[in-house]
Amino acid sequence: MSSILGSRDRFAVSRKAKKTYDLIVTKHKNLKSHGQLFAYAASWGIAAGARSKLKSKVDLAIMSGLKTKEYDYESLLGVVISCLHPDASPDERLQILQEYAEYGISKIREHFDRYRRLSFQQLVDEMTAKKGTRE
Amino acid sequence: MIIKSVTIRNFRSYKGEHTVNLDVDGTRPVILVYGKNGAGKTGFINSILWCFYGSLFFGSTRTFAVRQVNKDVKKGKSFDMAVTVVFEHEGKKWVVKRNLEYVGSGSKENTMSYKGDQGGPIVSVDGDFQEDGYVAIESVLPMNAAHFHFFDGEQMRRYTREKNTEEVRKAIELVLNLPTLINSKMDLDKTLHEIEDERSKIAAKNDRYTDLLAQREEIEQGLEEVRGKVEHHTIELNKVSEGLSIIEARLAQYDELKDKIDDLRVLRTELSSLSEHLKSAKNDFGTAIDRIPHVVLHEHVKKAVHSFKKKRREIEEGLRIAYSEKAKYDAMVEMLEQGKACSCCGAQPGDEQREYLASEIERLGAAVKNQTEGKRVSSELLMLEERGSEALNDATSASTEITVLQAQIAELNNKIRAARQESEETEKDLRGVNEELYAADRKNREDLGIIKRKESDALDDLVLQRNELENSKDEIEFELDKHSVDDKEIREISKEKTRAADSLEAVSKLIDAYVHEMKAQVEEGSSEILRLLTHKRETFDRVCVDGTFAIDIVDKQGEMISRSDLSAGEQQVLALSFMGGLARASGSRSPFLMDTPFGRLDKEHKQNILRMLPELSTQVVLFVTNDDLDQYEESILNRRISKIYEVIYDEKKRSSHIVLRT
């Protein structure tokens, strides 16, 4: 486990959000893992500058899911959170990250509902264009 | 006219020069000249004729004068022949001379050359030489009329012969002094002919003008017709061309659409290829979706790395300072805790210096204490920086890759959209192609093409025709300008013609009236003389001169007596009556020279003639044979005879001469 995001080996989402994760990951074969989707969600939240509190927190996946030989979301997200929240401890950083992801997944759900699938190109456009508000 | 004298030189039987005085007085107009046959009577008359006219007796051709030269004289190497007639006419003395001189040598007549004769008689009037002797003589006694005055008795009867009527007519005209009127008539006639010619020319010109006008009208009609046809065919051609254009456009569209099938094939292939590319691009995008978070957080990462770097540098700077301060801290601690003197000045620190040292130690102690934390943070920051840099690299490449892919996919989508649209449109257009209509259009195009060619050919012919007609019209206009006739000119010439025609008519009428009058007078005079001369006074009523100037006798019953029914003598009497009547009617007092006129006449006729002779003219020279007149008959003339001559041929001298008897 990386020291950037604390000592926990799992990252959590809200119960409601988990359904979304399950649905979308099932729907899209090219989405490799929940962790990947989590990274999307967290990126959206960070890009939007918006977080949502987790209600009915459940563990989604293990932290190692954020870092594979194809991608390293842990470093990416960890570095960004560390910069945005320099005073936060690693565990706090994870918490913050989860909140960013919580916001982000709700937006992804909206996207999904609109397009009935993830249009990755559209997703990129939306994620890079829109700024959200903190909940 | 009264012949005064005749001088003959070397003429026929008259060798040498002989002069005869023929002057008469008013009461005795007759000169009798006796002579045997061959004495030279005829030659005498001929000499006068030759002198005046260069010809001999009536009916003879103009013989070569040389034949008249006395034969004896002609034998010489040089000779001349001359006749001079002196006469009085209208109070003036006329001298008429004609001569012939032989110059040169030669044995034959046709090699001889002469002068004189050919130039006509030499005429002087009261001493004034006339320029043209022929004209002068003709003005006194025209040649044709002369034969009524100088004649052979045997020849008299020719006046009664049908074949001579034209000659008789001309002679009558001359005797009756008609030439002036006739000449005027001829001049007028000539003028009329000239005017008529002029008018004809103008009329011809006018006719030509009228023809040209008619032609122009015809051409204009033709032109109008052709122009109408040209217009009609042009319209038809335009219609056909328009129809053809529409069909051509449709066919072009069909062909274009049919060409589009190939394009469509290409398009589909392209579409397929684009779709493959799109799939591939999407695949690539798919592989790039791993790095979507990198793309999204690219800027954030960049910012973070930069921040970490800065902070670390700050911390490391702090650490460096802290490290350098440690030695001072250790020294101060040693001084304060161990009570050591200052290394600089060696003085023991006082309270004040102790307080200062304590605060410094506190400050430096915090720094030393923080050094460890700083190293830790620096280390952490370094780790963040490094991981951030890696993430940044990933993010940068991902960002680029995804940007490229996005652009590629967008482009491909656009192309695919455009290709699909084009394909849909083409397919839609192709569905609109009706093969039957297409075939029908092709057939119509062929048919219309044929019609168009025919119309075009017809139009070309008509245009050619129109151009030819226009050219013809231009030519005619040019001709019209040339032949335009001034109406005034026509009117003037017509007036002139009318005037000339009127004058001619008047003169003709005048002449006709005069001739009629003269004819009547001639008839009257002739009839009177006939009654004097003939012994058939109970039978013969009068002389009639018909329109052809044939002379006839009309009996008491009004019947025409055919000339063939008259004896030779009666014909002679008739002729003499006519000549007498003519002489009376003309008022001409030209002399009569008659050569033996009594040949076929009986005594009664002869005597009647003798009685009448002195009334014939102011001068009558009668040539008779010695046996022609007996004493009684001579006595009839006695009181009217001025002179009596005899023509004698001297055989010794081989020459004739005339001697005066009384």
ipTM: 0.90
Residue B285 has pLDDT above 70, yes or no: no
A104 to chain B, any CB pair closer than 8 A? The answer is no
Token match 């013809």: residue?
Answer: B472
Q: pLDDT (tens digit, 9 = 90+) per residue, B431-445?
A: 766 778 888 888 999
Distance CA(B656)–CA(B647), nearest Å, equals: 7
How large is the average pLDDT for residues B259-267? 77
Contact B384 A79 (CB under 8 A): yes
Q: Describe the crossing of helices A90-115 and A15-27 by its angle, rounded to 10 degrees.
A: 60
Per-residue pLDDT band for B367 (boundaries 50, 70, 90) equals: low
Closest-CA residue of chain A to B399: A124
A94 to chain B, any CB pair closer than 8 A? The answer is no
Distance CA(B3)–CA(B52), nearest Å, equals: 12
**Chain B positions in Cβ-Cβ contact with residue A84 (cut-off 8 Å):** 300, 304
Closest-CA residue of chain A to B308: A83
Q: What is the pLDDT of residue B113?
A: 46
Q: What is the pLDDT of residue B466?
A: 93
**Chain A positions in Cβ-Cβ contact with residue B300 (cut-off 8 Å):** 46-47, 80, 83-84
The pLDDT > 70 percentage for chain B reads: 86
**Chain A positions in Cβ-Cβ contact with residue B292 (cut-off 8 Å):** 40, 43, 120, 123-124, 127
- The full DSSP string for B54-115 is S--STT-----GGGGB-HHHHTSSS-EEEEEEEEEETTEEEEEEEEEEEES--SSGGG-EEE
Contact B296 A124 (CB under 8 A): yes
Nearest partner of B2 among B621, B658, B660, judged by Cα: B621
Low-confidence ranges of chain A (pLDDT < 70): 1-3, 130-135
Contact A77 B394 (CB under 8 A): no
Contact B285 A121 (CB under 8 A): yes
Q: pLDDT (tens digit, 9 = 90+) per residue, B61-79?
A: 445 666 677 877 777 767 7
Q: What is the pLDDT of residue B66?
A: 65
Considering only the beta carbons, identify the residue of B303, B305, B402 that sits closest to A124: B402
Q: pLDDT (tens digit, 9 = 90+) per residue, B548-576?
A: 667 788 888 888 887 778 887 888 888 88
Q: Which among B278, B285, B292, B378 is the top mutation candidate for probing chain A, defined by the most A β-carbons within 10 Å of its own β-carbon? A: B292
Q: What is the pLDDT of residue B240?
A: 92
Considering only the beta carbons, identify the residue of B285, B293, B311 that sits closest to A43: B293
Q: What is the pLDDT of residue A133?
A: 39
Per-residue pLDDT band for B52 (boundaries 50, 70, 90) equals: confident
Q: What is the pLDDT of residue B222?
A: 93
Nearest partner of B547 among B40, B172, B64, judged by Cα: B172
Residue B176 has pLDDT above 70, yes or no: no
Considering only the beta carbons, identify the residue of B285, B300, B311 that sits closest to A46: B300
Per-residue pLDDT band for B109 (boundaries 50, 70, 90) equals: very low
**Chain B positions in Cβ-Cβ contact with residue A44 (cut-off 8 Å):** 296
How large is the average pLDDT for residues B56-63? 50
**Chain B positions in Cβ-Cβ contact with residue A78 (cut-off 8 Å):** 384, 387
pTM greater than 0.90 (yes/no) = no
Contact B292 A40 (CB under 8 A): yes
Residue B373, Cβ density class (10 Å: 0-12 exposed, 13-18 middle, ≥19 buried): exposed
Mean pLDDT estimate for chain B: 80
Residue B118 has pLDDT above 60, yes or no: no
Q: What is the pLDDT of residue B379?
A: 79
Residue B307 has pLDDT above 80, yes or no: yes
Contact A40 B305 (CB under 8 A): no
